């Protein structure tokens, strides 16, 4: 039975859904005779959070029955060295998915690095080709966090057709691709993209059936922003003196919302789950795994 908050809101449990997806992927790989499906990550520098994210990705890949490689370079390695590693992975037929851990240290041209990743290996969905496929509605790999939000909506039976959705934040990583996914034919939400120049965000949010906070502003969404029964999804993450917090003031909002993601344990685990889902999709697209 799905859990609820003290205020009665349905908890959209990303840890639980991640485990379900990882188990499904493991089952599919085992049923196919366990062919090698390989995710390669590229980590530049010694940023602590980035190191933890990469470890978590590889731990979940192992649970899914996938192989994983982690290419680690010093922050001083230089643009040419990073590009050489990515180019080598792009040309390696035993590598099916490539993820360059972002952000790269100061001084690197991240766009030039991403441009070396073939669209069919772009499991982060960030290259120009992948974004173009998304915009044109063509088959391709979609960003892990936006895809994770969509999987949560599906898993918890949140209606989207004819519903109003607001996405707060317009980043290429989350806000823009998620807005496209929500507006797609078959999903059929009416989407507003809000940002720092949107005016009265509180009123815009109160008109929405689905509120996605992806601005990176700690606890910016309060009960005053949420109409009773709305679905609230917290994508933002900020490191504060009080620890890691999201864009949603969970305690006040859970008393008003109909469904809500926790922080942590909401969209974060789903990003990793969808990274692995994309890796298996990539292997299929490359003919390395049965369709």
SS3 for 213-239 is ECCCCCCCECHHHCCCCCEEEECCCEE
The angle formed by the CA atoms of residues 77, 80 and 81, to the nearest 5 degrees, is 45
Return phi, psi of residue 247, to 5°: -80, -10
Residue 255 clears pLDDT 90, i.e. is over it = yes
Q: Provide the 3-class DSSP secondary structure of residue 109.
A: coil
Return phi, psi of residue 262, to 5°: -80, 165
pLDDT, tens digit, for every residue of 6-19? 999 999 999 999 99
Q: Given this model, what pLDDT does residue 187 score?
A: 98
pLDDT, tens digit, for every residue of 58-84? 999 999 999 999 999 999 999 999 999
User: Are domains 33-118 and 144-267 of this chain identical in fold?
Assistant: yes
Q: Given this model, what pLDDT does residue 148 score?
A: 98
Tell me the catalytic residues.
57, 101, 124
pLDDT, tens digit, for every residue of 77-108? 999 999 999 999 999 999 999 999 999 999 99
Residue 150 clears pLDDT 80, i.e. is over it = yes
* Terminal-to-terminal C-alpha distance of the chain: 33
Specify the CATH architecture of the domain 144-267: 3-Layer(aba) Sandwich (3.40)
pLDDT category, 238, cuts 50, 70, 90? confident
Residue 134 clears pLDDT 80, i.e. is over it = yes
Give the closest residue to 121 by CA, choosing from 150, 95, 147. 95
Residue 125 clears pLDDT 80, i.e. is over it = yes
Query: Which tokens in the block code for residue 260?
Result: 């809500």
**Cβ atoms within 10 A of the Cβ of 174, count?**
25
Percent of the chain with pLDDT over 90: 92
pTM value is: 0.95
- Given a contact cutoff of 8 angstroms between Cβ atoms, the answer to whether 56 and 81 are in contact is no
- CATH code of the region 33-118: 3.40.50.10860
Collect contacts of 196-203 with beta carbons under 8 A, ≥24 apart: 201/168, 201/225
Q: Given this model, what pLDDT does residue 153 score?
A: 98
Q: How far are the Cα atoms of 71, 149, 212 from residue 200, in angstroms, in the given order?
A: 45, 25, 16
Query: Which tokens in the block code for residue 280?
Result: 């298996």
Asked if omega into 264 is within 30° of 0 (cis), the reply is: yes
**Cβ atoms within 10 A of the Cβ of 283, count?**
26
Domain ranges of the chain: 33-118, 144-267
Residue 1 clears pLDDT 80, i.e. is over it = no
């Amino acid at each position: 039975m799905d859990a609820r908050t003290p205020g009665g809101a349905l908890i959209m449990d990303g840890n639980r859904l991640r485990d379900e997806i990882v188990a499904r992927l493991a089952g599919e790989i085992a049923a196919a005779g366990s062919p090698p499906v390989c995710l390669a990550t590229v980590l530049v520098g010694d940023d602590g959070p980035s190191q933890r994210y990469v470890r978590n990705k590889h731990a979940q890949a192992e649970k899914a029955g996938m192989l994983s490689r982690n290419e680690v370079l010093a922050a001083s390695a230089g643009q040419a060295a990073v590009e050489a590693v990515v180019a080598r992975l792009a040309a390696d037929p035993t590598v099916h998915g490539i993820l360059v851990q972002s952000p790269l240290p100061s001084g690197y041209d991240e766009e030039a690095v991403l441009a070396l990743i073939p669209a069919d290996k772009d499991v982060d969905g960030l290259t120009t080709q992948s974004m173009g496929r998304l915009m044109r509605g063509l088959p391709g790999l979609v960003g892990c966090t936006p895809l994770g939000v969509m999987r949560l909506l599906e898993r918890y039976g949140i209606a989207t057709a004819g519903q109003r959705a607001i996405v707060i934040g317009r980043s290429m990583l989350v806000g823009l691709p998620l807005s496209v996914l929500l507006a797609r034919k078959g999903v059929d939400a009416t989407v507003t993209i809000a940002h720092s120049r949107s005016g009265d965000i509180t009123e815009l949010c109160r008109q929405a059936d689905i509120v996605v906070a992806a601005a990176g502003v700690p606890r910016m969404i309060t009960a005053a922003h949420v109409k009773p029964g709305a679905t609230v999804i917290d994508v933002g993450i900020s490191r504060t003196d009080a620890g890691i917090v999201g864009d949603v003031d969970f305690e006040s909002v859970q008393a008003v919302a109909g469904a809500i993601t926790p922080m942590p344990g909401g969209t974060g685990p789903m990003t990793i789950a969808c990274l692995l889902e994309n890796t298996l999709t990539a292997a299929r697209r490359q003919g390395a795994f049965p369709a």
